[in-house]
Amino acid sequence: MKVACLFDGAGLARLGLEQAGHDVTGFELDPVKHHLGKHVGSGNTVLADATTVNLSGFDAVWASPPCQVRSVARTQGAPVSAYAKDYLQWCLGIPCEVLWVENIMSQKPEENTWGIKWNAAQFTSLPLQNRNRVIGGRYRLPKTFRIWRRRFQDICMCITATEWKGCPTDRRRAARSYGRKLTVQECSYHQGFEIPGGWFKALDGYTEAAWRRQLYEAIGNGVPCYMSKAFGEAYKV
């Protein structure tokens, strides 16, 4: 299928869909994440506002709108990014025959009824991380290795966008599973992703530490590649 990947970020969901055999174009507004995405997979990503893309030429849409508004992990006030609003319902209204809309799972069960609950640990024979998400829209069910559970024991906690902080006592971060701060390579491993060499050359204006934080955030905000690949493979002929 020809797939549009909206809110492409650094391209992890797009990579999984490409690995499933689809022709995927990403659309991302953040210039840094777009730069990183050009090194991922086909590199077919466009610097553009995802909410303005003409989708008439696509067979399917994957949308991963920012989740800051809905996230219980947000502790520093209202979001200030270009996508500071909640785009979940806008994404669910996209008129495409095949539609995947991925976002965080709320702690309140009544707020998760817009889609199906999935855990990243379901999608690999050897579970890599506990990462709960809801995926709504219209799609064929993917193949999984185990039924959904919110928490699988003895598996790494969810890789977050704030792993750069470390803090092994914070229950929200994978650092708790390791007892220390993870490296960016360890974060990418749990996301099923090998960091391209081009990622390690900082853009002008970034210190080494500031650029490494960008890498942590790009990986932690991404969709595990093996997860989007499983959804894409449901459409293999």
> Average pLDDT by consecutive 10-residue portion of the chain (237 residues)?
98 98 97 98 97 96 80 48 78 97 92 96 97 97 97 94 84 86 96 97 96 97 98 92
Dihedral-angle region of residue 162 (phi above 0 means left; psi in -120 to 50 means alpha; beta otherwise):
alpha
Report DSSP state, residue 45. E
Alpha-carbon distance of 96 to 19, in angstroms, equals 22
Instruction: Give the residues across from 47 on adjacent strands.
Output: 28
Domain range for 61 is: 2-233
Alpha-carbon distance of 185 to 195, in angstroms, equals 7
Looking at residue 169, its pLDDT comes to 72
Looking at residue 166, its pLDDT comes to 85
Looking at residue 75, its pLDDT comes to 46
Alpha-carbon distance of 190 to 35, in angstroms, equals 22
Looking at residue 189, its pLDDT comes to 98
- Token pair, residue 90, equals 């806008």
Instruction: Please answer whether residues 24 and 1 qualify as being in contact, where contact means their C-beta atoms are separated by less than 8 angstroms.
Output: no
CATH number at residue 119: 3.40.50
Domain count, the chain: 1
3 phi/psi in degrees, rounded to 5 = -120, 135
Q: Which of 59, 72, 10, 76 is nearest to 222 (CA)?
A: 10
